Structure 1
């Protein structure tokens, strides 16, 4: 059997949205590409317009409702954790780690909230062609997994580049936006290094008074620094429980919790169940 035929992602096309389409991602990342039509997408009590050519990136366990004004056709690509992991491993070899860090950033922050609009027109055209290639190869009886994986890797890099372009445009208007995005990226990159996330280290890294770091972060990000760090770490715990065979002891060590008991207690407090029960209920 050709190992390239084992494609760990799902591709499907919705030919018509008559009224609404509810998408709640159970994959690490779900891409929704609008092939035709227009309407609004609802999430977190917000309504964002969509139209042909718009690409939405929906992170794990997040619900979006697409309401079409007329017949709309969408392409859905669901990428589970192990697919993203494979791309990340390959990125080490082709020197695109920065874009993979950026992917982690956008799937857990406000960048994904309004969908990814390609600011570079040519990149949007290329992404569309790549998505169609993925769809065609997925339906091909002699599909080649490597083609699909490489197409997706390029799409994710295009998304990352356009997000950075958008960041640059925003930061020309506001230096504060630039500073807080750098701070959030730094926090995510060093999420497992408690020393690097100390007020002293953050103060030194970003030139902010130690006594003002927490206040500054909350003012700019809308959530306290400690709450953000904990929420992000728990999201990573969820992903590992659901998509890996890592023992709780290994997760505790990797993400720098005090001990297994500490992690279990915090997880149960915020997720309503123990890590072991969560794994049983959500394991692939």
Structure 2
């Protein structure tokens, strides 16, 4: 069950005009971050699902099902599964929207998108799904297109998160909602310490064992720590124009589901 205790910790927002930004704990030129993130996901795409199960003990599937339940998606809706990767959420949304609805699986990374497309075709899911390689900061869709947008474990990899939120707001229909499922800040100091030990000592070793690429999983651990905490991301939702913004802490705040509406 979700823990709805809210964290009061604050982190500064990313300066959207800065010449440099963070790539994990490194500072890199803003113009280079997208390429560096792409290299990470090209490297891990084929083992991404196996690593998700190993890293979370399968709990990521419960987090995603909670996201689906909070989405309010129903028959006939148009859904954008942004940074949808290997298609977990798209596979759940497809039967919900039915033949009269539509789901767009979108990702900036061609390797992840290919794995997702192949998985969904293998499941026999394609009739109400299309695929798009897009940048979240400048979505190539018309205003007021989608009833719901989800982005699961993808926002932290976006260079300009505030710009991406504004782009998502633009393409949502009035009455539509955005759901961001993302790693966040644990609410318990003891859990936070244990989580840090796991992330920086164990996770890269699992990455080495499964993918032969510990550096990518070192980056993923670092990117989680650099991502805005719960209250900061909530304020970023408001800045982008979303209303009735809320978040639900899952697994003690290791993950949080944020939701906001466009009215």
TM > 0.5 fold call = no
Question: Greater Rg, structure 1 or structure 2?
Answer: 1
Using the size of structure 2 for normalisation, the TM-score is 0.27
Q: TM-score, normalised by structure 1?
A: 0.25
Q: Which structure dedicates a bigger proportion of its chain to helix?
A: 1
Structure whose residues are more often strand by fraction:
2
User: Which protein, 1 or 2, shows the higher relative CO under an 8 Å CA cutoff with sep ≥ 6?
Assistant: 2
